[in-house]
């Protein structure tokens, strides 16, 4: 955890110093260029997040996409080394009862349609 916190803080400090240096070069005459330049990292993160981050299992289940939710949980359990799902799609972890209730509710809604 410590290397992650250090990297995050380093990222913030480098960004602050870079923004200050860019402001010293561009402001007040080229403020539009400055605003565009400092918004580019946020735009990049937005695009990467939109195309690379998976939907949450909770959202997938609320949309009736149970198989995708189970597949995502299986992928997550492979990266974390925990058992989140058993073969029939029920949840194994103690933290999952609320999630399991949502799964059962959505299954009953899907079955009634």
Model pLDDT for residues 9-65, shown as the tens digit of each residue = 998 999 999 999 999 999 999 999 999 999 999 999 999 999 998 888 888 888 888
**The pLDDT value given to residue 70:** 84
**The pLDDT value given to residue 94:** 40
Could you tell me the pTM of the whole model? 0.50
7: which DSSP letter? H
- pLDDT tens by residue, 57-111: 888 888 888 888 888 888 887 766 666 665 555 555 444 555 556 566 666 666 6
Q: Is residue 4 classed as helix, strand or coil in its secondary structure?
A: helix
DSSP of 16-83, one letter per residue? HHHHHHHHHHHTTTTHHHHHHHHHHHHHHHHHHHHHHSPPPHHHHHHTT-HHHHHHHHHHHHHHH---
Q: Under a CB-based contact definition with an 8 Å cutoff, are residues 77 and 92 in contact?
A: no
**The pLDDT value given to residue 95:** 42
């Amino acid at each position: 955890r410590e290397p992650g916190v250090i990297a995050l803080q380093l990222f913030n400090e480098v960004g602050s110093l870079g923004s200050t240096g860019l402001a010293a070069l561009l402001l007040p005459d080229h403020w539009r260029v400055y605003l565009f330049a400092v918004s580019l990292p946020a735009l990049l993160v937005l695009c990467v997040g939109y195309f690379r981050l998976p939907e949450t299992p909770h959202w997938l289940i609320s949309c009736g996409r149970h198989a995708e939710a189970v597949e995502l949980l299986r992928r997550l359990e492979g990266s974390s080394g925990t058992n989140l799902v058993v073969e029939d799609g029920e949840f194994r972890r103690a933290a999952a009862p609320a999630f399991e209730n949502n799964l059962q509710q959505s299954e009953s809604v899907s079955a009634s349609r």
